[in-house]
Amino acid sequence: MPKAQETILEIDLKALKHNFEYLKSKTKQGTKILGVVKAFAYGSDANEIAYYLQNLNIDYFAVAYVHEGISLRNFGIAKPILVLHPQAINFKLLIKHCLEPSLYNSKILNEFIKIASEENQSNYPIHIKFNTGLNRLGFDANDIDYLIDKLKNTSSIKVASIFSHLAASEDLNEKAFTLNQIQSFKNITENIIPKLGYKPMLHLCNTSGILNYPEAHFDMVRTGIGLYGFGNSEKENTHFKPIGTLKTVISQIHTIEKGDSVGYNRAYKTENQIKTATLPIGHADGIGRQYGKGKGFVTINGQKAPIIGNVCMDMIMVNVTNVDCKEGDEAIVFDKNYTAEELAETAGTISYEIITGISQRVKRVYLK
């Protein structure tokens, strides 16, 4: 691996393949796999990641919004793409690019039927989302008769799948709650399918659902964070390889005298002489202010260097008093050893937030 000469996010496609294959090995045979590539594939780069996964013969993709799906289509992604949270204003574009909407309440269902029939569509694939306890998006079990009535009265759309989303699949203290969600989903599907007269695909599990609830894989599973190398538990993390390495380089080293201060608002005041390194990465790159004041750290030549003072927009300063380093040396913000999850924990957040927050200013480099 070449040494960083600027801030880069290195994406290890071999690690992606490893994670995909591990998830596949944990999934009931014959189950389809949907790769969740919303939010730039959790901050890596949706187009490249989806292209690679498509070559690994993944079955489906999901994004959050229509424009994310359009970007994939323009890049040559031909697999079906589920749009988890489409807005009616984009429905024409969605149809134009053969994207498949998740429909979760009567308002959005009616809006979609209207546009699909105006566009002369027949049997356009849609996905019906049910709420089984997350209380975020989804029809209620009581909506089934209403739904059937609507679906029987149009030939513009056809249900490609019925799905729901688990609220706490990673938390084994909430196992009873999750089992209840699984049961609610089963009840809903057993009620709706005979009335519908055909059998759409059923899917419920996200990454932790795949790992913790093999009995709930149904016809397809949806994995996001696992593909990117996190298993949401110490045990599972050992089976995954984080695909992203965020690295940067030391711009300048300072000796700061006792009684002096470092950075904006003089947020760090020295009690003794220290040595600092200034790095070209800041909150505009995704390292939020919550990582400042000694919480977050980078590693330089294998040694930890805490972020001191406030995180600036374009820079951080780290304490390298006890680190053997010089200007031009590489600094690792996270990698496979000091993971994004570990860094996230220093600021009381989760891997999902730090990796999706790496801004588009940071150059992505692929290891193939």
DSSP 62-107: EESSHHHHHHHHHTT--S-EEESS--GGGHHHHHHTT-EEEE-SHH
For the CB of residue 340, give the shortest distance to ligand PLP in the complex, in Å: 13
Torsion of CA 278, 281, 284, 285, to 10 degrees: -170
For the CB of residue 36, give the shortest distance to ligand PLP in the complex, in Å: 4
In the set 107, 175, 258, 264, the catalytic residue is 264
| Contact (CB, 8 A) for 10 and 247 | yes
For the CB of residue 56, give the shortest distance to ligand PLP in the complex, in Å: 17
For the CB of residue 132, give the shortest distance to ligand PLP in the complex, in Å: 12
- Closer CB to ligand PLP, residue 248 or residue 351? 351
- Closer CB to ligand PLP, residue 243 or residue 315? 243
Dihedral sign (CA 231, 234, 240, 242)? positive
- Closer CB to ligand PLP, residue 222 or residue 241? 222
- Closer CB to ligand PLP, residue 139 or residue 268? 139
- Closer CB to ligand PLP, residue 188 or residue 225? 225
**Residue of minimal CB distance from ligand PLP?**
224
- Residues 210 and 207: their CA atoms lie apart, in Å, by 5
- Residues 218 and 34: their CA atoms lie apart, in Å, by 13
For the CB of residue 232, give the shortest distance to ligand PLP in the complex, in Å: 7
Catalytic status, residue 38: yes
Q: Residues interacting with ligand PLP, by CB under 6 A?
A: 36, 84, 165, 206-207, 222-226
In the set 26, 38, 241, 247, the catalytic residue is 38
Residues 6+ apart with CB under 8 A from 197: none
| Contact (CB, 8 A) for 254 and 229 | no
Q: Which amino acid is at 291?
A: Y
For the CB of residue 22, give the shortest distance to ligand PLP in the complex, in Å: 13
Helix (H) or strand (E) holding 297, with range, is strand 297-300
- Residues 226 and 237: their CA atoms lie apart, in Å, by 9
* Collapsed DSSP state (helix, strand, coil) of residue 294: coil
- Specify the DSSP class assigned to residue 27: S
- Closer CB to ligand PLP, residue 84 or residue 277? 84
Catalytic status, residue 293: no
- Enumerate the active-site residues: 38, 264
